[in-house]
Amino acid sequence: MFDFNTHFSTFRNYSFLLTELIKRDISGKYKDSTLGLFWSFLNPLLSMIVLTIVFSTFFGRTIENFPVYLLSGKLVFDLFANATLGAMDSIKGNSEIIKKIYVPKYMFAVGIVCSEFINFLISLVVLVAVMLATGAPFFPSLIYSPIPLFFLLILTMGVGLILATATTFFTDIKYLYGVLIMLLSFMTPLFYPIEIIPEEFLFLFKINPLYSAVSCFRDIVLYGSFPQTKFLIFLIISSIVALIIGIFLFYKYQDEFVINI
């Protein structure tokens, strides 16, 4: 049923489409704004400044270098949030094309996830700048950073595919997910330390793969160590599971997209 070779060759044939879509997504984001690409830096920077002002008084003492702590978590979370939201809209947003021309539909979801990832890489400049400004050390452990980022990408892709499939059948998923992502942002220790969470609720955090992703990334950037095994393994497992479910659902229902969008 799933013929890898033909899928691979289709992917190769449409690889130019993927680059064009990524280009369109990235340039589309900044095309008409005067600030352009600078917005990529400004957005996380401003929110970091505000959040730092607000929360450093609460957690400033328990968390060393609060701005870097906040930014490293927030960039990772924003990548996930933006990319999954984008992927969710990707099928409906390109319905005009999908209804008219044969295109591998996952290209649109994959395209937006990739462009958000590139966006994330660009905004890492802000993180570097903040680290320089706050005098944070650059650990050699940074060379491990591709490992959690890769699985974060896998996770995002998987969740994106699930959401893209679900929204074509149920339009209100979009609003539900909006609420969910907000809840998720509070359930991930972005601006507070995990230590403030009572023991009995800690399991809620442990099953959140984003908490694992953020922790892995912080271990590398902030604490100069290899990610903790429990976080890394949970991230890897959850990301692969999400991707498998995503591909399965997408593959199963993609033929019905045309009649539902």
Partner 1 sequence: MSTQTRYPKVTNQVSSKDSGEWKDLDNVIIDNWESLAVCQLSSGQKPNSFVVSDFDFNIPGDCKIHAIDVRLDYHKDSFQNTIELNPPKVRLVNIRKDCESKPLYSPSISPIERSVLFDGSRISPDEINNPDFGVEVIFDKNQSEFSGELFFDFIRLSINYEEQRFVIGSLNGEGFPVKKKPLQKSVGETFIYTILFNNFNGINKEKQDVIINIPEGLEVVNHFFASDKKGKIDVTDIDYEEDRFDFDKMVEDREIIYDEDILDLDTLTWHTGVKGRGMSRLRLELKCTGEGLKELSAYNKFSGPGAHFYVNVHPEGYEHKPNIYEESLLKWKSQLDKDKDYQTLNKEVVIEVSNVSREFNKAQEKVDNLKEYVIKWLKRELKPKTKFQALSNVSFTVNKGERVGIIGFNGAGKSTLLKILSGVLRPNTGSIHINGKVAPLLELGAGFDHNYSGRENVFLNGAILGYSKEFLESKYDEIVEFSELDEFMELPIKNYSSGMIAKLGFAVATLVEPEILILDEILSVGDVRFQKKSGDKLKSMMNTGTTVLLVSHSVGTIRSMCNRVIWLDHGKIVMDGLTRDVCDAYVEAAKKASEEQLENLEI
Hey, how many other C-beta atoms are within 10 angstroms of the C-beta on 238? 21
**88 or 221, CB closer to partner 1?**
88
**44 or 111, CB closer to partner 1?**
111
Dihedral angle sign, alpha carbons of residues 123, 124, 127, 128: negative
**Nearest approach, Cβ of 28 to partner 1 (angstroms)?**
6
Dihedral angle sign, alpha carbons of residues 119, 123, 128, 129: positive
**Nearest approach, Cβ of 95 to partner 1 (angstroms)?**
10
Structure tokens of 212?
A: 């694992």
Residues 221/142, Cβ–Cβ less than 8 Å: yes
Query: Helix-strand-coil percent breakdown of the chain, rounded to 5?
Result: 80, 0, 20
**Nearest approach, Cβ of 94 to partner 1 (angstroms)?**
7
Q: Which residues bind partner 1 (CB under 8 A)?
A: 13-14, 16-17, 19-21, 24, 28, 31-32, 94, 96-103, 169-173, 176, 255, 258-260
**33 or 225, CB closer to partner 1?**
33
**19 or 134, CB closer to partner 1?**
19
Q: How far is CA 94 from CA 18, 109, 162, 178, in A?
A: 14, 10, 17, 21
**Nearest approach, Cβ of 244 to partner 1 (angstroms)?**
22
**23 or 230, CB closer to partner 1?**
23
